[in-house]
Amino acid sequence: MIRDQTPDDPLSVFAAWFEEAEAKEVNDPNGVALATVGEDGMPSCRMVLMKGYDEQGFVFYTNYESRKGRQLLAHPKAALLFHWKSLRRQVRIEGPVAQVSDEEADEYFASRARQSQIGAWASDQSRPLEGRFELEKRVARFAAKYVVGKVPRPPHWSGFRLSPSLIEFWQDGAFRLHDRLVYQRDGEAWRTERLFP
């Protein structure tokens, strides 16, 4: 697709590729590596699940007090990397990150399974854990606390939206002659460029 065509809008390319990934990947086609930077400029990377995308950006949810959460609040820039193995494609996305609104986070939190909602309260994500039993005790404590009614969203659990300033589509080619198409934000429009593989 990207070999012969250069659509004006990278989101239309992403949408087409993501749709194919949803159809073909064995699991978690929305699994994406998220790279952040720490105080000392050291990068760190882990997987998250992309829970939505549109012209405004790509959204994922996490604990704001986790390592990545603290890093993003201090340095609100990040990179995302999708790799769809069965399609032999990768998409790199870079840009500034902002917190989603409380309303947006509430809506998504409410859509999650009750056990996952309890888990969000129980997990002090990225902080030391004595052993599995400590986690299980916390799950039991919050399950008892919220035994009736709606589980509220923890104040430290919410989403980030990365608004892309760069998106690169990479498609495997025979004998390592891959296709690379880069979109860079240029005001309201996108500038495109092809790169040697």
Ligand X SMILES: Cc1cc2nc3c(=O)[nH]c(=O)nc-3n(C[C@H](O)[C@H](O)[C@H](O)COP(=O)(O)O)c2cc1C
Q: Give me 161's structure tokens.
A: 């939206």
Stretch that binds ligand X, among 2-10, 12-20, 40-48, 89-97 (CB under 6 A): 40-48
Q: Which of 3, 176, 180, 191 is catalytic?
A: 176
Cα 76 to its chain centre, rounded Å, is: 14
The CA-CA-CA angle for residues 187, 191, 194, to 5°, reads 160
Known catalytic residue at 176: yes
CB of 94 to ligand X, least distance (A): 18
- Cβ proximity to ligand X, 156 vs 185, nearer residue: 156
Interaction of residue 49 with ligand X, rule CB under 6 A:
yes
The CA-CA-CA angle for residues 73, 78, 82, to 5°, reads 135
- The interface with ligand X within residues 92-121 (CB under 6 A) comprises none
Rg of the chain (C-alpha set): 19
Place of tokens 């092809």: 194
- Cβ proximity to ligand X, 3 vs 127, nearer residue: 127
User: In Å, what is the CA distance from 20 to each residue of 57, 69, 171?
Assistant: 20, 30, 13
Interaction of residue 47 with ligand X, rule CB under 6 A:
yes
Interaction of residue 61 with ligand X, rule CB under 6 A:
yes
Q: Give me 193's structure tokens.
A: 């460029």
Are the beta carbons of 147 and 159 closer than 8 angstroms? no
Secondary structure element (H or E) that encloses residue 170, with its range:
strand 166-171
Q: Which of 66, 117, 158, 171 binds ligand X (CB under 6 A)?
A: 66
- Cβ proximity to ligand X, 41 vs 187, nearer residue: 41
Q: Which of 3, 46, 114, 150 binds ligand X (CB under 6 A)?
A: 46
Stretch that binds ligand X, among 3-11, 56-64, 86-94, 139-147 (CB under 6 A): 56-64
Interaction of residue 126 with ligand X, rule CB under 6 A:
yes
Interaction of residue 67 with ligand X, rule CB under 6 A:
yes
The CA-CA-CA angle for residues 173, 176, 180, to 5°, reads 60
- Which residues form the catalytic set? 176
Query: For binding to ligand X (CB under 6 A), which residues are involved?
Result: 28, 31, 44, 46-49, 60-63, 66-68, 125-126
